[in-house]
């Protein structure tokens, strides 16, 4: 793993640790939302999971990068896998940045 990727992974891990420290168990519950969405949708983005969960009463992360860490954790555990495709978020907060499309494992 190159240095930049290592730093990104470290930053994502700190984000989820911060979310868990502020909101006990946030990361585990967020992971459950990812698994639930993957069971319903063939493909999805982190933003879709976030919106789906918050519309159903789940508390938004205190750290915006925490959702990315949750998706990485779900991938590491074999619950989801990345596609090679991205889509622009359309979120003003995210400045329309590209967001990876994930899918349930084949």
* pLDDT at 15 > cutoff 70: no
The CA distance from 106 to 102, in Å, is: 12
30-45 pLDDT per residue, tens: 999 999 999 999 999 9
Tell me the pLDDT of the chain averaged across its residues.
83
Query: How much is the average pLDDT of 71-83?
Result: 93
Higher pLDDT, 1 or 31: 31
Interhelix angle for 3-22 vs 26-40, to 10°?
110
Burial class (CB in 10 A: 0-12, 13-18, 19+), 3: exposed
The CA distance from 57 to 68, in Å, is: 20
- Strands of the sheet with 81-88, listed across from one edge: 43-44, 98-103, 81-88
Which CA distances in Å does 44 have to 2, 51, 100, 104? 27, 11, 9, 9
CATH number assigned to the domain covering 3-103: 1.10.10
């Amino acid at each position: 793993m190159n240095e930049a990727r290592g730093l990104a992974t470290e930053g994502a891990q700190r984000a989820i640790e911060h979310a868990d420290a502020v909101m006990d168990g946030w990361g585990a519950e967020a992971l459950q939302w990812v698994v639930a969405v993957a069971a319903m949708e063939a493909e999805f983005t982190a933003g879709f999971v976030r919106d789906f969960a918050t519309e159903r009463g789940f508390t938004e992360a205190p750290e915006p990068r925490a959702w990315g860490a949750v998706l990485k954790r779900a991938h590491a555990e074999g619950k989801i896998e990345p596609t090679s495709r991205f889509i622009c978020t359309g979120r003003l907060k995210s400045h329309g940045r590209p967001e990876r499309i994930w899918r349930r494992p084949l």
